[in-house]
Amino acid sequence: MTFRWYGASDPVPLAHIRQIPGIDGIVSAVYDVPVGEVWPLDNIRALKALIESHDLKFEVAESVPVHEDIKLGRPTRDRLIGNFAQTLRNLSQCGLKVVCYNFMPVFDWTRTALELKLDDGSTTLGFDADLVNRIDPEQGINLPGWDTSYKPEDLKALLAEYRGVGEDELWANLLYFLKGVIPAAEEAGIKLALHPDDPPRPIFGLPRIVKNVRDLRRVLAVSDTPANGLTLCSGSLGADLDNDIVSMVREFAGQGRIHFAHIRNLKVDEKGNFHETAHKSDCGSLDIGAIVAAYHTAGYDGYFRSDHGRMIWGETGKPGYGLYDRALGAVYINGLWEGLDNARREAER
């Protein structure tokens, strides 16, 4: 069981994470290197030393970002793919085992509310499909927590670049990327773990290609190697009611292709509106108990983490990434797992 941590600037201290029962690993990244550049050994070593000084392991990197030029298929991509491969080698040299990445154009996860108030007084992340559909990205995107690393004119130019990139082109660029990095990952003993799109549908006219079971099968078919695997994020995929997370876990964990399990619950409606909830099954639309049981039945021995949590007990900080609710989620998942272990032992008696 791991916990995501955003480095020294994260308001959640490692010392507090260490106190969550059952957590033994940190998931993090080198944040002070520009996207596309190699993560230097020294930076990885320093991060690892800091994490280990709190008696926690650092075996999963999330995420190594994929440069937009790779997603766009620009001529500069070969150098950037080479850099990504070198980062994998450096991570391996420092004892990392799994590298999470995603292939979402321009934007990582998208929400329309970061402090949506729930009936119990907690706040959470929400997504209003109509609101997003009404936004014309050409006029600028004004959403809470929006990636401000893009200046409006740069964003406009980048969106213009994507005008010729539909799902087929983006897929071809993912294929090119995978062919470039899988051999390096295999050699380094790194398991790549592609995170699905969040939410799993096109937004702002940008294509999305990792959004359902067909897409996941297509990615895995590129190369049948542990180096080419998945991060299965229940909350991301679960924002589409047609996605059956339990059957995905059965299929892909059964094949040993899931290397990293993100567990999150959310309440979603037919129109695609959703908000994130506490992890417990009856708090949201997903049967987390059944999802965790599917991992257990498949003999899953990879990494877990409780994904986003609500803000509770007056906590402030990075929306989705507070200490308390994610800790509750982790303990809940560990409790489910212990119950499944016990049930198996009883059955074998």
Cβ distance to Mn ion smaller for residue 109 or 177: 109
- In whole angstroms, the minimum distance from the beta carbon of 235 to Mn ion comes to 6
- Interaction between residue 216 and Mn ion (CB under 5 A): no
Beta bridge partners of 3: 26
Cβ distance to Mn ion smaller for residue 159 or 320: 320
Q: Which of 101, 128, 215, 262 is catalytic?
A: 262
Q: Tell me, yes or no, if 233 is annotated catalytic.
A: yes
- In whole angstroms, the minimum distance from the beta carbon of 261 to Mn ion comes to 9
Between the alpha carbon of residue 280 and those of residues 263, 277, 290, 317, the distances in Å are: 10, 8, 11, 22
Q: Tell me, yes or no, if 341 is annotated catalytic.
A: no
Q: Tell me, yes or no, if 168 is annotated catalytic.
A: no
- In whole angstroms, the minimum distance from the beta carbon of 307 to Mn ion comes to 5
- Interaction between residue 259 and Mn ion (CB under 5 A): no
Among 233, 288, 292, 312, binds Mn ion (CB under 5 A): 233
Give dist(CA 9, CA 31) in Å, integer.
10
Provide φ and ψ at 9, rounded to 5°: -85, -5
Element (H, E) at 154: helix 152-161
Element (H, E) at 194: strand 191-195
Cβ distance to Mn ion smaller for residue 263 or 293: 263
Cβ distance to Mn ion smaller for residue 25 or 165: 25
- Interaction between residue 276 and Mn ion (CB under 5 A): no
x/- map, 99-128, Mn ion, by CB under 5 A: ------------------------------
- Interaction between residue 60 and Mn ion (CB under 5 A): no
Rg (CA), the chain: 19
137 backbone φψ class: left, alpha, beta (φ>0; ψ -120 to 50) = alpha
The conformation of residue 282, written as its DSSP 8-state character, comes to G
Q: Which of 67, 101, 195, 325 is catalytic?
A: 195
- Interaction between residue 215 and Mn ion (CB under 5 A): no
Between the alpha carbon of residue 204 and those of residues 57, 103, 207, the distances in Å are: 38, 16, 9
- In whole angstroms, the minimum distance from the beta carbon of 17 to Mn ion comes to 18
CB atoms within 10 A of CB 283: 17
- Interaction between residue 97 and Mn ion (CB under 5 A): no
Give dist(CA 189, CA 93) in Å, integer.
10
Interface stretch with Mn ion, choices 218-226, 229-237, 313-321, 336-344 (CB under 5 A): 229-237
Cβ distance to Mn ion smaller for residue 20 or 233: 233
Cβ distance to Mn ion smaller for residue 4 or 71: 4
Give dist(CA 99, CA 195) in Å, integer.
10
Omega before 306 within 30 of 0, i.e. cis: no
Q: Tell me, yes or no, if 279 is annotated catalytic.
A: no
- Residues shown for the chain: 349
Interface stretch with Mn ion, choices 136-144, 274-282, 300-308, 327-335 (CB under 5 A): 300-308
Give dist(CA 101, CA 66) in Å, integer.
7
Cβ distance to Mn ion smaller for residue 194 or 233: 233
DSSP calls for 108-143: SS--SEEEEEPTTS-EEEEE-HHHHHH--GGG----
Give dist(CA 223, CA 218) in Å, integer.
10
- In whole angstroms, the minimum distance from the beta carbon of 305 to Mn ion comes to 8
Q: Which residue is nearest to Mn ion (CB)?
A: 233
Q: Tell me, yes or no, if 308 is annotated catalytic.
A: yes
Among 211, 262, 296, 305, binds Mn ion (CB under 5 A): 262
Q: Tell me, yes or no, if 262 is annotated catalytic.
A: yes
- Interaction between residue 307 and Mn ion (CB under 5 A): yes
Give dist(CA 294, CA 156) in Å, integer.
43
Catalytic annotation, residues: 195, 233, 262, 307-308, 321
Which residues contact Mn ion (rule: CB under 5 A)?
233, 262, 307
